Each structure stands twice: as C-alpha cells, then as structure tokens.
Amino acid sequence: MEQRRRRLKRTIDYRGRDWFRQYEQLAYSRPHHVLLESGQGGRYSIIGLDPIGVIRADERRLIIKQRGLKRCWMARRSKGSGNGFGVSPCRMRGSRCLAKAG
C-alpha cells in the first residue's frame, strides 16, 4: 500500500493584513506551533504547525515524542568520555519516563 505524501508547505498571501494576527489565528487551537522570522524588517516569516515530533529537555532528561511513540534519555557521568557526560535510555512505564528531573 503506497502512502500518500502530505503537503509540507503552504504559502499565504497576507498583504494588507497584520501577519502576526494571521499567525495567532492559525496557531490558536494547536498545542504545538512555532514562528521563525528572518529578522526585523526581514523578508521571510515561517510558521510551523502540527509537528510530527516534539522534543523536550530539562537539566537531565531528553524526551522525544514522534508518531505516538515516546522515548527518553538521561544524562549521566561517563568514564573515558572526553566531555565527562553521556546519555543512556531511561526506563519507561507505559508512556511515562521514570527518570527524575535534575
């Protein structure tokens, strides 16, 4: 069965409109969204909505959620590593990462 490709970009003509208001309307009901700009008075604004994956991190954990799967890694001291740190997979219980935040 062949998978159908999803459109990855859409160009929106916002001439004559407040572009930030346009972004707010598009992002309003979505839990994950991002706005990237090329600078003040820049030429491009890029809006990202409904990502296929979400990456979160705190002082000691890295959590990646992608396509319904959740993976977790924990920072640890490692011997023999040039920077003194490494990462190892966390133990999971269901979809919950059992590693404690720093």
Q: Which pTM value belongs to this model?
A: 0.57
User: Can you give the chain as a three-state secondary structure string?
Assistant: CCCCCCCCCCCCCCCCCCHHHHHHHHHCCCCCEEEEECCCCCCCEEEEECCCEEEEECCCEEEEEECCEEEEEEEEECCCCCCCEEEEECCEECCEECCCCC
Give the pLDDT of residue 62: 85
pLDDT tens-digit map of 40-83:
766 777 888 888 889 888 877 888 888 788 888 887 766 665 55
Give the pLDDT of residue 16: 61
Over 60: is that where the pLDDT of 102 sits? no
